[in-house]
Chain A
């Protein structure tokens, strides 16, 4: 295998829960990310999927070095970036950029579109070198017109704002773009446009994506490989088709079976796994297998021994003592 563009090894991030007014003290810890490892190869789209609170956005922010790791290492192109700061961190941003979920909150309302897209060039002293031309080029790339540069974010729809965010992320020719729920806030028709645009840009510039999403149907559309997270841990990693055809972990199987299908006939005759209860608090995750409180396969061992994420019965690793493939979404007629 070629050298991975990014390697994450045993990432850990716990956030303190603070109490008290004058004397703030930590009374508990939220285990946001608890031992997550993965590798992303150049040019691939690696998906991280899971429900709210599973830690996927924290993974995105750790990778971008927007928050510091408690433990684990991050390597990019063979270089340890776990603790880089200051100038070295600024250099890192030339290689890694992020697209945020909320196109309303992530664009400064007082800046023109041209200033927003051009800001990375200013920061990295590249403006003098044909800045205005680069801005026009970027706007054109994402399907906006040159005259849009003079306008302000509020004059644009959600889909167009997300295009502005993408243009900004591409300004410095990054290799890796972290996409944190880039289409979740968008309407269906805008969503397809943005997904197609991301794909087109990837082909054009050989981009690598770390794609964070809660929506498995979106993940299936764009990702080459996928990690499924639950309560701060990766429970299964697989190539896209293997994941959707032969999911091994009961949580992945339940997630896939819960995705609504826009086909009334199919939707009403599917066998659905309906999970009981809610996701437990990440402040106090269940012992051993964290999924055992909601799992339909749980046995005694699941409360006692934590299942490692390893190869079990199929071609990809899953963290379950009873990993076993389940029929895909649509069973082919026997």
Chain B
């Protein structure tokens, strides 16, 4: 396994690759306006793996699409905030400039590689196309580079396989092709939206290894979007937890798992089935379901499901507060000494 570095203040105080500031993204629906992302900020340093975790509808994929200016049109729009790529705001950038950055400096891979690849074009050709779209390059050289990329991502007999079509590849191999295409131009940031969710567990392990390997090789930063706290644990340097469109916690990976400060974070940790700890008869569970974003709870959005809810949680929105080096949590009580899960909430 590739060596993984943790949060390093010296390295990470340098200018981030991407800085998202107070991002607000909205969708128009028949029932009204849904604020899928509501005032989210974060930044990602060079070579860092930054994970965004949360359940369906928490806004994590919308964050990824907003960074690339790819919100579905015309329903979605960025209603506020900035996405600073090495200091340049992409929200206010021209469509032409966005096209330049997208696929070149910032690339993305999706959950379902089959629908992201063109079924009628040989995979080598699809990768070569990336070069031709962004660089002036001889077709033959582009093809050679495509073959080399396929072998970098671990596709055996790359020379021959480059001539195959997407349907001739298995799910895991297709995801490798997607990664090859995404890293073709050595992007500074790779966005991976649930890259292993559609894959079997033995294949998932392979793909995560490929991601960490290309990160190392090309000094890329990775924005990893996932619902799986296990996947995050093995790959991320820092983690942001989202709930109902809000950022509720952010911390270096080690601290998030060791000392979670938001009850939602530890609720997630507690209710995750795992194989490394003694079994408990019944799993700790978070009651209820996530709120509708059409009418979110007025103050803390987790209050209706929170085991520690207090009157203030239903009247005042808890701003993010610093609880430790690099760790913030949006809970009124996060700074209280001893604040954290009870043993029965996250069994050890």
Is A259's CB under 8 angstroms from B271's CB? Answer: no
Is B234's CB under 8 angstroms from A259's CB? Answer: no
Complex-state Cα separation, A160 to B283, whole angstroms? 18
Decide: A51 near B276, CB < 8 A? Known: A278-B172, A278-B173.
no
Q: Interface segment, B178-186, B223-231, B313-321?
A: B223-231
B90 to A: closest C-beta gap in Å: 30
Which A positions have Cβ atoms within 8 angstroms of B? 51-52, 157-160, 187-193, 195-196, 199-200, 214-218, 220-221, 244, 254-256, 258-268, 272, 274-275, 278-279, 329-330
Which B positions have Cβ atoms within 8 angstroms of A? 1, 4, 55-56, 170, 172-173, 200-206, 209, 227-234, 236, 253-254, 257, 267-269, 271-276, 279, 281-287, 289-290
Decide: A260 near B233, CB < 8 A? Known: A51-B202, A157-B289, A192-B284.
yes
Q: Contacting A261 at CB < 8 Å: which of B1, B276, B279?
A: B276
Is B289's CB under 8 angstroms from A160's CB? Answer: yes
Query: Sorted from nearest, which 6 A-B pairs have the closest CB atoms?
Result: A260-B230, A192-B271, A187-B55, A51-B200, A217-B273, A192-B285
Is A262's CB under 8 angstroms from B272's CB? Answer: yes
Closest B residue to A262 using CB positions: B229
New contact pairs (19) apart from A190-B289, A192-B272, A260-B234, CB-CB < 8 Å? A188-B55, A188-B227, A215-B201, A216-B201, A217-B275, A255-B202, A258-B201, A260-B204, A260-B230, A261-B274, A261-B275, A262-B229, A262-B272, A262-B274, A266-B233, A267-B230, A267-B234, A268-B234, A330-B276
Is A196's CB under 8 angstroms from B275's CB? Answer: no
Is B254's CB under 8 angstroms from A272's CB? Answer: no
Is B283's CB under 8 angstroms from A192's CB? Answer: yes
Complex-state Cα separation, A188 to B286, whole angstroms? 9
Is A255's CB under 8 angstroms from B201's CB? Answer: yes
Provide a sorted-by-A list of 10 A–B residue pairs whose CB atoms are within 8 angstroms: A189-B271, A192-B272, A214-B200, A215-B273, A256-B275, A259-B230, A260-B228, A260-B230, A262-B257, A268-B4
Closest B residue to A222 using CB positions: B273
Is B272's CB under 8 angstroms from A196's CB? Answer: no
The interface residues of chain B lying within 8 Å CB-to-CB of A52 are 200
The interface residues of chain A lying within 8 Å CB-to-CB of B269 are 262
Closest B residue to A53 using CB positions: B200
Q: Which of A214, A221, A272 has the most CB of B within 10 A?
A: A221
Is A188's CB under 8 angstroms from B272's CB? Answer: yes
Decide: A278 near B257, CB < 8 A? Known: A157-B289, A217-B274, A220-B275.
no
B32 to A: closest C-beta gap in Å: 16
Complex-state Cα separation, A264 to B233, whole angstroms? 4
Is A265's CB under 8 angstroms from B254's CB? Answer: yes
Is B202's CB under 8 angstroms from A254's CB? Answer: yes
Complex-state Cα separation, A54 to B116, whole angstroms? 26
Complex-state Cα separation, A259 to B203, whole angstroms? 11
B310 to A: closest C-beta gap in Å: 21
Decide: A196 near B283, CB < 8 A? Known: A51-B200, A264-B253.
yes
Complex-state Cα separation, A244 to B4, whole angstroms? 27
Closest A residue to B289 using CB positions: A157
Is A258's CB under 8 angstroms from B271's CB? Answer: no
Is A244's CB under 8 angstroms from B271's CB? Answer: no
The interface residues of chain B lying within 8 Å CB-to-CB of A188 are 55, 227, 229, 268, 271-272
Complex-state Cα separation, A238 to B290, whole angstroms? 38
Complex-state Cα separation, A220 to B139, whole angstroms? 53
Complex-state Cα separation, A217 to B279, whole angstroms? 10
Is A191's CB under 8 angstroms from B273's CB? Answer: yes
Closest B residue to A254 using CB positions: B202
The interface residues of chain B lying within 8 Å CB-to-CB of A193 are 285-287
Complex-state Cα separation, A260 to B282, whole angstroms? 21
The interface residues of chain A lying within 8 Å CB-to-CB of B253 are 264
B111 to A: closest C-beta gap in Å: 14
A178 to B: closest C-beta gap in Å: 20
The interface residues of chain B lying within 8 Å CB-to-CB of A264 are 233-234, 236, 253-254, 257
Complex-state Cα separation, A265 to B254, whole angstroms? 7
Decide: A258 near B204, CB < 8 A? Known: A160-B289, A263-B257.
yes
The interface residues of chain A lying within 8 Å CB-to-CB of B227 are 187-188
Q: Contacting A220 at CB < 8 Å: which of B202, B236, B273, B289?
A: B273
A257 to B: closest C-beta gap in Å: 8
A43 to B: closest C-beta gap in Å: 16
Is A218's CB under 8 angstroms from B273's CB? Answer: yes
